[in-house]
């Protein structure tokens, strides 16, 4: 039996079958619902308001959210909502995915340009009957090369193209080895490349002019895969949940990337056929999904990747909407869940070239930690969960307009700062850390994390407050990172005082308050000036890889030097983790 | 005097004072106190109070763990004495527990094991990344009431489903009650795979196990 679902908030009227799940129906109708937990009724982010129609009996989770005052009585989680009758519902703003994230500042590192793609404009001698040299030999002579690969299809066009171009041509060569394009000299134009950071939550790209190595523009968007799970493990689960699912994830991320590419190119009046190289820097799971490589070996212990270093693919093979013969380079995965994004980050931060002991921490849903000590580099990954991205937190949100990213205690009053100067409508990771540190200092929460008032709630601003469960989520996320750092130091015989520096990568960027992070124990207590923010180091690394072949050699030898350590199977893990749950500064 | 001591016992558990709980237990043995009463009116009210504080949000994992450890320490002193005196402490039930294969995470599982033990269950903890067949072998060997399966990854959760299928295929499904838990596990997943129960946290797991044991005994 068909039911009618009216959604005035989105000006939609949808027909649905009785028994269908509301979230599915809304998503099908194009309403970008936040479904971070993969429709498992866990994250509580997909609530809808029932305006008219029968309210179903609340599930346990919904009752819990009532008690927390996160849901009101006429609200339900759409992912648990089985349609039984006609409905009129409202989908609140906070239940939908918002576009255009705000970028953290990107730190620039300078590298010498050593491009993989080179462009030559040539005049080729017209053929004479006295010396009928073949056209391809003439082309090679003109380039001063003895051997170059070329595709049969390009060879097939050679004669007519040369004639049409009056023997004046542009030749595009990849890594001095292969001709990937030929065009008449009249169609000469600058050539471009794209550096892409393929993050679990956010996708960012830079458009780079290849001859100069200069960044022309950049573009960012949410990874559309996020509606199929917030973290890499739920993405894997989704990919394994049916035959077409991995393909669906690949399409989602590719479509977003291609849309971003066309936006950034159009804005700069550049044709897609002028883009000849793409460098992708992503975590292991993102790399696998993007290339359509199966992820099941990453699903269970020993959590093995299918590939680390890769040969070059063509844009056509990988599905990027640029020149079909453009080459795609993927920053190599280190091992297991420590992926190409960390390889790029280590490259960009020049960790291996520093003298002394350094930590590199990428604070994301999956927290990656690398330690450089003496000549060795050790990396691990730790499941911090999405709390720092604002997920699993009742008033949490990603770093978007209106997110409280900084809080100060000004003589007993909270002074909030929200992104883009908008009124505060939620709290993102850095704001959360500030708040916890402030409440801890004021004695409104105990070091063990209990809220010390009767109400068990901490009021922040109108409509924004922290619950006991929120504090617990932050404690867990902090403890995961803290335990990771501790065990990395301990297993290498180091104390935090012996650290010469801590590099912080990830979207937190400069917003992270160092003092507050140390107060709650997220970062070891060292001199503040030894904490260095490197911003989106995955993107910075991707840009370096794009403009220099030497950097590609470096990253490939770098990852061979990195040894991998598993935290969860360390016998000391539990003990350290439980101790780390306490909100206090090191040691 | 005795009342005061019973109160101290409860306090030691609530505060997670392991050494104190252990020495109070020894004192009770030396003074030839009624050990069943010591358990029921001394230590058990303590662990119950811990449960209340957890429910209220005052206690979190560290408190829960130190209380469970204190309880285990006290019981380790008392239980051999009960056996020696041939007093049958009413067994709450027997459980085989572990994290399923492919999954190396075990903090949650350890906590459930400790809490079950603290509440008087006999627990055989197999560890993490355990082959499914091993759960069944151990359950048969120990004639367990429960097989408790932990999974911390959405990818390894499937092991819980497979174990139930294995039990069915070998005609053993009725012999054991299967409890499932872990961060990604939900009640509806437990229902889907026809597990006997799911609990959201270690304390809920204990009440669930107690309830299911009562039902099992009533059936007999």
- Cα A26 to Cα A1, A16, A65, A193, B2: the distances in Å are 18, 9, 22, 38, 65
Of B56, B60, B65, nearest to A475 by CB-CB distance is B60
Distance, in angstroms, between B89 CA and closest chain A CA? 31
Q: Please, what is the angle between helix A340-349 and helix A284-291, to 10°?
A: 120
Position A509 scores a pLDDT of: 66
Could you write out the DSSP letters of every residue in A490-501?
A: HTTT--GGG-SE
**Chain A residue with Cα closest to B159:** A300
Q: Enter the tokens of residue B203.
A: 């304390």
- Angle subtended at Cα B179 by Cα B173 and Cα B184, rounded to the nearest 5 degrees: 125
> Taking CA atoms, what residue in B is nearest to A473?
B60
Is A469 in CB contact (< 8 Å) with chain B?
yes
Q: Report helix angle B44-56 to B61-84, nearest 10.
A: 160
- Map residue A284 onto helix, strand or coil: helix
By C-alpha distance, the chain B residue nearest A451 is: B58
- Å between A252 CA and nearest CA of chain B: 21
**A251 φ, ψ (degrees, to nearest 5):** -60, -40
Say yes or no for a CB contact (<8 Å) between A568 and B101. Answer: no
Is residue B98 within 8 Å of residue B127, measured between CB atoms? Answer: yes
Q: Which of B104, B128, B197 to mutate to test the interface with A (most CBs of A within 10 A)?
A: B104
B55 touches chain A (CB under 8 A): no
Q: Tell which residue, A426, A488, A493, has the closest CA to residue A461.
A: A426
Using the Cβ of A236 and the Cβ atoms of chain B, whether some distance falls under 8 Å is answered with yes
Asked if B153's CB is within 8 angstroms of A233's CB, the reply is: yes
- Give the phi and the psi of residue A404 in degrees, each rounded to 5: -70, 115
Q: Are A370 and A382 in contact (CB under 8 A)?
A: no
Those residues whose C-beta lies under 8 Å from the C-beta of residue B164, and which sit 6 or more positions away, are B173, B178, B193, B194, B195
Q: Say whether B60 and A448 touch across the interface (CB within 8 A).
A: yes
CB B170 within 8 A of CB B79: no
How far apart CA B132 and CA B152 sit, in angstroms, is: 16
Cβ-defined contact of A233 to B58 (cutoff 8 Å): no
* B contacts of A475 (beta carbons < 8 Å): 60
Tell me how far apart the alpha carbons of residues A126 and A120 are, in angstroms, rounded to a whole number.
Answer: 18
Q: For residues B84 and B51, give the distance between their C-alpha atoms in angstroms, rounded to a whole number.
A: 31
Q: Per the CB < 8 Å rule, is B57 touching A451?
A: yes
Residue B92 has pLDDT above 60, yes or no: yes
Sheet holding A327-330, edge to edge: A214-222, A202-209, A192-198, A275-282, A327-330, A313-314
ipTM: 0.78
Q: Quote the pLDDT of residue A103.
A: 35
Looking at residue A213, what is its pLDDT? 85
Name the pTM for this structure: 0.79
Is residue A302 reached through a cis peptide bond, with omega within 30 degrees of 0 on the bond before it?
A: yes
Number of H helices, E strands in chain B: 10, 5
B154 contact A CB<8A: yes
Cis peptide before B159 (omega within 30 of 0): no
Query: Residue A287's pLDDT is what?
Result: 97
**CA–CA dist A104, A510 (Å, integer):** 7
CB-CB under 8 Å, B155 with A300: yes
The answer, for A15 touching chain B at a CB cutoff of 8 Å, is no
Which of chain B's residues have a Cβ under 8 Å away from the Cβ of A566?
104
What would the pLDDT profile of A490-513 be if each residue is shown by its tens digit?
A: 989 999 999 999 999 876 767 899
Q: E strand or H helix at B71, and its extent?
A: helix B61-84
Task: Check if the beta carbon of residue B46 is closer than 8 Å to that of residue B13.
Answer: yes
Q: DSSP string of A350-397?
A: TGGGSSS-EEEEE-SSEEEEEEEETTEEEEEEEE--GGGGTTTSTTB-
Predicted pLDDT at A100: 37
CB nearest A234 (choices: B61, B107, B154): B154
Sites in chain A below the pLDDT cut of 50: 99-108
CA gap A301, A192 in Å, rounded: 41
Task: Report the chain A residue with the minimal C-alpha distance to residue B65.
Answer: A578
Please answer whether residues A241 and A143 qualify as being in contact, where contact means their C-beta atoms are separated by less than 8 angstroms: no
In total, the C-beta contacts within 8 angstroms joining chain A to chain B are 71
Residue B119 — φ and ψ, nearest 5°? -95, 15
- Residue range B134-177, pLDDT digits in tens: 999 999 999 999 999 999 888 889 999 999 999 999 999 999 99
Tens-digit pLDDT profile for residues B95-121: 999 999 988 888 889 889 988 988 889
Residue labelled with tokens 């009752």: A63
Which H or E run contains A409? strand A403-410
Decide if A300 and B103 are in contact by the 8 Å CB cutoff: yes
Instruction: Kindly state whether A571 is in contact with chain B, defined as any CB-CB distance less than 8 angstroms.
Output: no
Residue B62's closest chain A neighbor by CA?
A578
> Is B20 a residue whose pLDDT tops 80?
yes
Q: How far is A304 from chain B (nearest CA, A)?
A: 11
Would you call A450 and B57 a contact, using CB atoms and an 8 Å cutoff?
yes
Closest CA to A544 of A178, A193, A190: A193
CA nearest A284: which of A235, A337, A329, A328? Answer: A337
Burial A447-461 (b: 16+ CB within 10 A, else e): ebbbbeeeebbbebb
The answer to whether residues A483 and A576 touch, using CB atoms and an 8 Å cutoff, is yes
Both tokens assigned to A356: 């002394």
- The pLDDT value recorded for residue A108 is 47
Q: Which whole-number Å values give the CA distances from A415 to A70, A405, A438, A508, A510, in the listed order? A: 23, 11, 11, 19, 18
Taking the Cβ of residue B196 and every Cβ of chain A, the question of whether any pair is shorter than 8 Å is answered with no
Residue in A closest to B61 by C-alpha: A578
Nearest CB to A60 within list B104, B128, B187: B187
**Is residue B73 pLDDT above 60, yes or no?**
yes
Residue B102, min C-alpha distance to chain A (Å):
4
């Amino acid at each position: 039996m068909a039911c009618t679902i009216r959604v005035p908030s989105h000006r939609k009227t949808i027909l649905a079958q009785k028994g269908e799940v509301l979230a599915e129906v809304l998503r099908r109708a194009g309403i970008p619902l936040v479904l971070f937990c993969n429709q498992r009724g866990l994250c509580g982010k997909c609530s809808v308001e029932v305006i008219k129609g029968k309210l179903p009996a609340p599930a346990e989770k919904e009752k819990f959210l009532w008690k927390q005052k996160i849901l009101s009585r006429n609200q339900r989680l759409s992912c648990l909502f089985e349609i039984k009758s006609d409905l009129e519902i409202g989908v609140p703003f906070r239940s939908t995915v918002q576009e255009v994230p705000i970028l953290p500042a990107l730190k620039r590192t300078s590298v010498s340009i050593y491009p993989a793609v080179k462009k030559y404009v040539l005049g080729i001698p017209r053929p004479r009957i006295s010396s009928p040299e073949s056209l391809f030999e003439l082309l090679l002579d003109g380039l001063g090369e003895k051997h170059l690969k070329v595709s049969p299809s390009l060879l097939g066009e050679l004669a007519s193209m040369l004639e049409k171009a009056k023997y004046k041509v542009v030749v595009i060569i990849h890594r001095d080895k292969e001709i990937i394009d030929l065009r008449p000299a009249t169609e000469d134009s600058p050539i471009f490349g794209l550096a892409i950071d393929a993050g679990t939550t956010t996708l960012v790209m830079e458009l780079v002019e290849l001859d100069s190595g200069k960044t022309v523009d950049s573009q960012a968007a949410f990874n559309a895969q996020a509606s199929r799970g917030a973290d890499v493990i739920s993405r894997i689960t989704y990919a394994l949940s049916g035959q077409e699912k991995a393909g669906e994830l690949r399409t989602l991320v590719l479509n977003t990337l291609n849309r971003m590419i066309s936006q950034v190119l159009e804005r700069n009046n550049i044709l897609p056929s002028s883009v000849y190289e793409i460098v992708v820097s992503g975590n292991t799971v993102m790399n696998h999904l993007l290339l359509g490589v199966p992820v099941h070996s990453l699903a269970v212990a020993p959590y093995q990747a299918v590939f680390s270093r890769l040969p070059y693919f063509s844009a056509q093979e990988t599905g990027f909407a640029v020149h079909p013969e453009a080459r795609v380079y993927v920053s190599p995965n280190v091992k297991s869940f420590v992926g190409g994004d960390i390889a790029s980050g280590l490259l960009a931060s020049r960790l291996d070239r520093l003298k002394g002991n350094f930590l590199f921490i990428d604070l994301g849903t999956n927290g990656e930690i690398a330690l450089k000590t003496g000549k060795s580099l050790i990396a691990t990954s730790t499941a911090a969960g999405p709390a720092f991205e604002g997920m699993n937190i009742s008033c949490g949100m990603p770093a978007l307009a209106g997110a409280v990213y900084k809080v100060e205690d000004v003589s007993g009053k909270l002074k909030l700062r929200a992104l883009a100067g908008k009124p505060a409508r939620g709290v993102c990771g850095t704001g959360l850390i500030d708040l916890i540190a402030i409440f801890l200092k004021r004695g409104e929460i105990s070091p063990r994390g209990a809220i010390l008032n009767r109400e068990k709630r901490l009021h922040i601003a109108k409509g924004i407050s922290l619950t006991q469960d929120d504090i617990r989520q932050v404690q867990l996320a902090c403890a995961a990172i803290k335990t990771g750092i501790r065990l990395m130091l301990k297993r290498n015989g180091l104390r935090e005082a012996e650290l010469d520096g801590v590099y912080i990568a990830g979207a937190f960027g400069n917003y992270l308050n160092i003092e507050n992070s140390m107060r709650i124990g997220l970062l070891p207590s060292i001199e503040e000036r030894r904490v260095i923010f490197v911003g989106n180091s995955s993107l910075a690394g991707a840009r370096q890889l794009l403009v220099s072949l030497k950097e590609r050699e470096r990253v490939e030898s770098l990852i061979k030097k990195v040894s991998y350590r598993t935290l969860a199977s360390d016998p000391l893990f539990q003990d350290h983790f439980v101790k780390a749950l306490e909100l206090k500064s090191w040691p | 005097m005795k009342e005061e001591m019973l109160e101290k016992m409860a306090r030691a558990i609530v505060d997670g004072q392991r050494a104190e709980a252990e020495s109070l237990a020894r004192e009770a043995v030396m003074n030839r106190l009624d050990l069943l009463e010591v358990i029921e009116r001394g230590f058990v009210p303590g662990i119950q109070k811990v449960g209340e504080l957890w429910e209220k949000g005052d206690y979190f994992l560290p408190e829960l763990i130190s209380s469970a450890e204190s309880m285990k320490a006290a019981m380790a002193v008392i239980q051999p004495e009960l056996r020696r005196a041939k007093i049958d402490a009413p067994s709450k039930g027997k459980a085989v527990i572990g994290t399923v294969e492919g999954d190396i995470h075990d903090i949650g599982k350890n906590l459930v094991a400790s809490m079950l033990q603290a509440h008087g269950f006999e627990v055989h903890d197999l560890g993490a990344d355990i082959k499914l067949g091993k759960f069944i072998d151990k359950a048969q060997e120990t004639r367990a009431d429960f097989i408790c399966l932990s999974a911390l990854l959405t990818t390894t959760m499937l092991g819980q489903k497979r174990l139930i299928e294995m039990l069915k295929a070998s005609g053993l499904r009725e012999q054991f009650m299967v409890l499932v838990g872990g961060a990604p596990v939900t009640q509806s997943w437990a229902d889907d795979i026809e597990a006997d129960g799911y609990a959201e946290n270690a304390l809920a797991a204990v009440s669930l196990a107690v309830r299911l044991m009562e039902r099992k005994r009533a059936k007999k």
